[in-house]
Amino acid sequence: MKNFKVSCVQIASGPNIEANLLETSKYIEKAKDAGAKLVVLPENFAIMAANDQMYLEFKEEFGRGKIQDFISGEALKNDLWIIAGTIPISSNKKNKVYSKSIIFNNKGEIISSYNKIHLFDVNILETNEKYNESDVFISGNSIEIVETPFCKIGIAICYDLRFPELFRLLTEKGANLICVPAAFTSFTGKAHWEYLVRSRAIENLSYIAASAQGGYHVNGRETHGNSLIVNPWGEILSIKKNGAGIVTSEIDLNYQSNLRKNFPCLDHRKKIK
């Protein structure tokens, strides 16, 4: 098995799609220059809406649209696989869209996609923040494993990180690397983000590449940032704490294979009733 490099992009998107895509393009090129073969973009990379209704206004049909066409072109131009964070994609329900992560190969073709399963409907009393993603988004109902020339990749999105059973299912389906586009709030991120990412890696002896929004947004949100790549032993290989930029690290599949063989906790699981 050959090693390869993955990069995670960190930005602070706003409601202007063109401006967000221009900045995204800059960091995709930096990832290419760093030797990455796979780039992970954060949740809502193309639009962090001023209000939830904007996601309905700028939704795209799956397979076509300004955002998808842009990522397709970037993948082809830079010879990269790109996991396009999340994009608001039309559904068959009125005034509802999917929060969909779309995977493009290095030819600009859509290979796979994943609809966010766990929607962020919470009240954060300490900061008086209220989120109701289910007002505009529809929950997905299936996991996704992506076959790539590098390895099998699982996808999870932001709030999914708090549900370990999803990551275990991805591991059981053969995932070597799990990519997590996210936009964690500053408050919850400071408390839990790094612990959750490292825990999901340790539990599954898996690489985790978590690409996060980071900074202040026009809609009043502050996101935590701290995009990071973690190895199957839970060690942080690279982290971007503040500001826009990228993190890049090598994925060593032989290391992972040997670790799973010599420390076979995944084989020691018992069915408990």
Q: Which residues are known catalytic residues?
A: 43, 116, 158
DSSP one-letter code for 185: B
Task: Tell me how many helices (H) and strands (E) the chain has.
Answer: 7, 17
- The total of other beta-carbon atoms located within 10 Å of residue 3's CB is 12
Per DSSP (E only), the strands in 105-167 are 110-115, 121-124, 129-132, 137-138, 145-147, 152-155
- Rg value, the chain, Cα: 17
Distance CA 111, CA 104 (A): 6
Strand partners, 100: 87, 115
The tokens describing 101, both together, are: 């992560």
Residue position matching structure tokens 């708090």: 162
Distance CA 148, CA 38 (A): 10
